[in-house]
Structure 1
Amino acid sequence: MTGRTAIIAGEGALPGLLAEALDAPLVYAMEGFAPPIPATSFRLERLVPFLDGLADEGVTCVVFAGAIRRPRLDPEAFDPRTATLVPRFLAAMQAGDDGALRELIAIFEEWDFEVVGVTAIRPDLVPGPGVLVGEPSEADRADAARAAEILRVTGPLDIGQGCVVVQGLCLAFETLPGTEAMLDFAAAHQGLRPVAAGGRGVLYKAPKPMQDRRIDLPAIGPDTVAQAARAGLAGIAWEARGVMLLEREAAIDAAEAAGLFLWARE
């Protein structure tokens, strides 16, 4: 990467982790989605002036980091040049989250910015295969395999990047409200396990099969571990090299304390 790097930041710890690894990055955040680090806000309705401003600052590389939700666009706030992009915005949003993000990347690339993923800056955040703590049982491995199969089928529908499988049955599925809401649902329905003394279930996360992995990689961290523990699960598994593990040591310590396994599954 040459030139200056801009972080388009959302909520959560990721923007700060990337900023630590970069030399004086510029940090920007969409209005309403402030990260926990200082950032200059911008509005999607004024995207073209924002892109021009990045170029004026000498930015050549852009990385998207952190969680955002679909913004509510104000038709009166569009400047004339960004207004010409409205048909593209609307068509992309109707295509689902993955389609919207692909279109956003395409627009940045049209301004000659190189869009890179987290792995280009912090490859250590995306673990390769292996069990990091604990030991999944045969029942847990079967549940993880079943969950991976479910996400392979649902992924092209652009619904979610995670599910909870208990004794071969899908107890909860990630949709628009996100991982925390899914795990709250799993916690509230622990009594649905077919065999009370059987496998406790697994949270599994993976990118969508055709997803552009430069943006919106699924993530887990200490909060996810705490939520999985409250849901009574045996552990967390994910697609190796496809999911970010944030605050790695803290997540491992939390899992060990709670008796959960963490497994990057090949």
Structure 2
Amino acid sequence: MSRTAIIAGQGALAPVIAERLDNPVIASLEGFAPPMPHHSFRLERLVPFFDWLTEQDVGQVTFAGAVRRPRLDPEAFDPRTASLVPRILTAMQSGDDAALREVIALFEEAGFSVAGTAEICPDLVPEAGFLVGEPTASDIADADRAARIVEGLGALDLGQGAVVAQGLCIAVETLPGTEAMLDFVAAHRDMRPRPNGPRGVFWKAPKPGQDLRVDMPAIGPETVDQVVRAGLAGIAWQASGVILLGREETMERARAAGVFLWAR
């Protein structure tokens, strides 16, 4: 039976998936090493990397972890990968979704099937329900508005999160990511119209039409800590569309802090 390769980025997701697979191959784009032993590759030598995966008896790949767009060295392309340069450059200059779709296409054309986290580890992707606590009517209204904002920004290929408090959008997620957004919210806690009113909600969801086999949004224990520092009431996310890492620890921290967790 063929092996599964984890194309691992930074963060905790790749090690979690690796623990659940039998003899996986771990590979990482140079410069974005995961916290585990791995084989490094460069985008400029993508075709030789495909050859290496085949030699390792890999038939399926899954993507796990954070990766930023690498800077390409024109002199580093090998002759076979050079034929893909127009596609790679076009993808790199496109939005995140377009770039990721092109990456998936390249792997599939090389003969590998691509599986998402939800397919390999379905228990990491919660279905609808309240995991901890319960939002108030105001929290539900804020979550609804945040969801509409993220959905509306999807056409612009922006981030996967937003914070709304008392009906006002405090921040949206862009290239710097979730932590930077929540740090911004923490630094602007006084912008809520009513200081003692509803504290606000962090909403997380995939972009509309996003291929969930890659770049599925994720939250975990650290997200709870960031939400607490930002003074928010809770975290809501699209059910079956967001990875929950460290489920028990995340729930424990949320309970201790009085923060709700809601797969909406």
Q: TM class, shorter-chain normalised?
A: over 0.9
* Per-residue CA distance 1:44-67 (angstroms, 9 max, x = gap): 110000001111221100000001
Instruction: Look up the match of 2:200.
Output: 201
Instruction: Look up the match of 1:44.
Output: 43
Instruction: Look up the match of 2:77.
Output: 78
Instruction: Look up the match of 1:189.
Output: 188
How large is the RMSD of aligned CA atoms in angstroms?
0.7
Letter in 2 for 1:228: V
Whole-angstrom distance in 1 between the partners of 2:120 and 2:45: 28
Instruction: Look up the match of 2:174.
Output: 175
Question: Which 4+ runs in 1 deviate beyond 3 A?
Answer: none
CA contact under 8 A between 1:164 and 1:204: conserved in structure 2? yes
Instruction: Look up the match of 1:160.
Output: 159
Letter in 2 for 1:206: A
**Equivalent residue runs for 1:40-119 within 5 Å:** 40-119=39-118
Q: Larger deviation: 81-90 or 198-207? A: 81-90
Unaligned runs of 5+ in 2: none
Letter in 2 for 1:7: I
Identity within the alignment, %: 66
Letter in 2 for 1:239: Q
Letter in 2 for 1:219: A
Whole-angstrom distance in 2 between the partners of 1:114 and 1:156: 27
CA contact under 8 A between 1:165 and 1:203: conserved in structure 2? yes
TM-score, normalised with respect to structure 2? 0.99
Number of positions where the alignment pairs a residue of Structure 1 with one of Structure 2 = 264
* Per-residue CA distance 1:173-222 (angstroms, 9 max, x = gap): 10000000000000000100011111100000000111001000000000
In structure 2, the residue corresponding to 1:132 is in which secondary structure? strand
Alpha-carbon distance, 1:112 to partner: 1.1
Letter in 2 for 1:223: E
Letter in 2 for 1:169: L
Alpha-carbon distance, 1:94 to partner: 2.1
Instruction: Look up the match of 2:255.
Output: 256
TM-score, normalised with respect to structure 1? 0.98
* Per-residue CA distance 1:137-172 (angstroms, 9 max, x = gap): 110000000001111111121110001001111101
Unaligned runs of 5+ in 1: none
Instruction: Look up the match of 1:226.
Output: 225
In structure 2, the residue corresponding to 1:197 is in which secondary structure? coil
Instruction: Look up the match of 1:32.
Output: 31
* Per-residue CA distance 1:79-125 (angstroms, 9 max, x = gap): 11111111111111222111100000000000110000001111000
CA contact under 8 A between 1:156 and 1:210: conserved in structure 2? no
User: Given the alignment of the two structures, is residue 236 of structure 1 paired with residue 244 of structure 2, yes or no?
Assistant: no
Whole-angstrom distance in 1 between the partners of 2:50 and 2:103: 12
User: Given the alignment of the two structures, is residue 127 of structure 1 paired with residue 126 of structure 2, yes or no?
Assistant: yes
Instruction: Look up the match of 1:246.
Output: 245
